[in-house]
Amino acid sequence: MKPTVLTYYVYRIAGFLVPFIPIRVGHWLLDRIADVVARLRPRERAIVKANIRRVMGSDPGDKELERLARNTYRCSLKNYFDLFWMAKRPLEQIRERVETEGWEHVEQAFAQGRGVIIVSAHYGNPELSLQIVPLVGKPCWAPAEHVQPEALFRYLCRLRSAKGLNLLPVDGPLTEIMRALRRGEGVGLALDRDATNSGRMVEFFGAPAHLPDGFALLALRTGVPVLLVLNWRLPGARYVLRAYPPMAFPVVKQPDDATVEQTMRQVLSVAEREMRRDPSQWVVFRRIWND
């Protein structure tokens, strides 16, 4: 469903009200709302179930698949709640709800002074993976899908940048990304959803999928390390954020297809292992595989 002017006003109202709602209460309410939304969108729910089935590598049965798909909607709506909630909370208060694993890898990557390509997926709470990076004292930049109307895009950018994340419209010039890396800063990119349809087909969970290749091209052309960061939800409005060891790739100014795909697969293989932990936390509502 495409955003409209009405969507903008709904977001503004939510942005005003959510900070006054205890996070556990808000999550409980959104679980109930998400169950209704899931039932009202049978076509979209079918796509979600197909994606979950592919990640699992098997068919868990109709009843379990429905439960997992319902949880995907719950995760998605709670992500919106968290976006409004985090924007009005100090970073340390957010940090209290997050259990970090492998944080030394984040510090190690930035210590090299060449910048860091932070790669994540739309898994758990995608915002959290980038919002918490300022704890290392480094700015982070990320392209943002340029949704319409323009007022909605500007409002979402204001919310998402409240903790120091710098956003650039994905359809605009991205020269600032290269400048950020030269300054030793972070650049956040997605590995699982190609918002610009400029990526390529690569194996993902055992089948060809159209995925963004920007992180691989950037790493190969600059030699900047790739840092995979994922997070997932725990009961009680808590999270685990895990950073993985930085991956370094040799500089190739004009990489061929095989080199790009091999680089992508090295990162994707780690993400696949973690995403199988709970496929229902993968909040992607579009087709990734043509089958």
Q: According to the model, what pLDDT value does residue 291 have?
A: 65
The pTM (predicted TM-score) of the whole model is 0.93
Interaxial angle between packed helices 257-275 and 214-222, expressed in degrees from 0 to 180 and rounded to the nearest 10: 120
Mean pLDDT by 10 residues, the chain (291 residues): 82 95 95 97 96 93 96 96 91 87 92 92 86 76 90 92 86 87 93 89 95 96 95 93 95 95 97 95 92 65
Q: What strands lie across the sheet with 116-120, from one edge to the other?
A: 98-101, 238-243, 226-234, 116-120, 186-190, 140-144, 165-169
Is 204 in a helix, a strand, or coil?
A: strand
Other beta carbons within 10 Å of 39:
12
E runs forming strands in the chain: 98-101, 116-120, 140-144, 165-169, 186-190, 200-204, 207-211, 226-234, 238-243
Whether the ω angle into residue 149 lies within 30 degrees of 0, i.e. cis, is yes
pLDDT given for residue 216 in this prediction:
97
Question: What CA–CA distance (Å, rounded) separates 250 from 257?
Answer: 15
Distance CA 239, CA 112 (A): 28
Round to whole Å and give the CA distance between 132 and 229.
11
| pLDDT of 171 | 82
Tokens of 7: 């969507």
- Dihedral sign for Cα 258, 226, 142, 124, please: positive
Task: Give CA–CA dist 203/189, Å, rounded.
Answer: 19
- What pLDDT is attached to residue 1? 58
| CA separation for the pair 127, 193 (Å, rounded) | 14
How many CA within 13 A on the CB side of residue 237?
22
pLDDT at 149: 92
Token pair of 179 as six digits = 């400048």
Nearest Cα neighbor of 203 from 258, 278, 274, 249 is: 258
The b/e string for 230-258 (b: 16+ C-beta within 10 A; e otherwise) is bbbbeeebebbbbbbebbebeeeeebeee
- Check residue 197 and give its pLDDT: 85
